[in-house]
Amino acid sequence: MSAEGFDYRVRSNGEVAIFHHGRLAKMMRGDEARQFLDAVKDADPQETMAAAVGNDGQMARPGAQATSATALHGNGEAHAVKDFRRKTG
């Protein structure tokens, strides 16, 4: 599957913002932004943006839920299953 849903905008100050399905995925400044703009001219823009973001094209769409029990959470480690009990009165 190829990367899709990426878009980028160049700001007047030279910053480049990459969006994935309308959400900001990465902001680039300086040399990184210039290198990206050079690369996007010579290659498939969707693949170039996916590579810049660090995504292989499998990024979840907005509102999508992780379906795997081992889905990673912000700290990079899978959370263990927990039993929750309801509080009563």
pTM equals 0.60
Tell me the backbone φ, ψ of residue 38, rounded to 5 degrees: -65, -40
How far apart CA 70 and CA 89 sit, in angstroms, is 34
pLDDT tens per residue, range 32-65: 999 999 999 988 889 999 889 886 545 455 545 4
Question: In terms of Cα–Cα distance, which of 56, 44, 43, 54 is closest to 18?
Answer: 54
The pLDDT confidence band at residue 80, using thresholds 50, 70 and 90, is low
pLDDT for 79: 55
- DSSP secondary-structure letter at 59? P
Tell me the C-alpha distance between 30 and 28, whole Å.
7
